Amino acid sequence: MNFNNLKKERKINESLSLFKKKLSGNNWKKYLINFFIAILFTGCTGIQRGCSSWWATNAGADWIIVQYAANGDPINCWKLNNTSVTNEGNSDGIYWEETNSGHLVHISGWYNRVQVKNGEFEEAAKLLGIDVHLIKNGKYKQ
């Protein structure tokens, strides 16, 4: 073993010893609380997005979903109210149950979707580059 490895090993042992001293007694509770507070504040965005996604999949949400032709023009378009949209396993597709007919709709390929907040369908449609008033029965009428 060379001298540099011995120095590194000594530093690691000193660090571990210092860490153990800091966690002795009731100090570990303080560090644990600080750890969870740090996770809470740094992970809020991810947690909120995850909860929102889970809720939309399991309880339903409002959506605008657009399927595009090869040239990029919107061809199929759906304005969905209180609908659960689920990702297909091992696929790029999604599916949902069509509210009026009860049919299960599966799409894949070139599509995009926006989860609509507070019923603001017009604003959500702008994010997809479409006009919400041109959505008719699953088609986009230009």
Q: Extract the tokens encoding 118.
A: 């507070």
The model carries a pTM of 0.62
105 and 36 together in one domain: no
Query: Which tens digit of pLDDT belongs to each residue from 71-92?
Result: 999 999 999 998 888 888 888 8
Residue 9: domain span: 3-42
Nearest alpha-carbon partner for 124 in 66, 73, 51: 66
Clarify whether residues 61 and 31 are in a common domain. Answer: no
Name the most confidently modeled range: 31-40, 53-62, 79-88: 79-88
Among 57-61, 71-75, 100-104, whose mean pLDDT is lowest? 57-61
Domain check: are 84 and 38 in the same one? no
Q: Is position 11 within any domain?
A: yes
Judge if 36 and 96 occupy the same domain: no
Tally of domains in the chain: 2
Residue with tokens 């990029």: 72
Q: What is the predicted pLDDT for the residue at 24?
A: 64
* Beta-sheet strand order (sheet of 104-107): 86-87, 94-97, 104-107
Same domain, 72 and 128: yes
CA distance 68 to 42: 36
What are the two backbone dihedrals, phi and then psi, of residue 36, each rounded to the nearest 5 degrees?
-65, -35
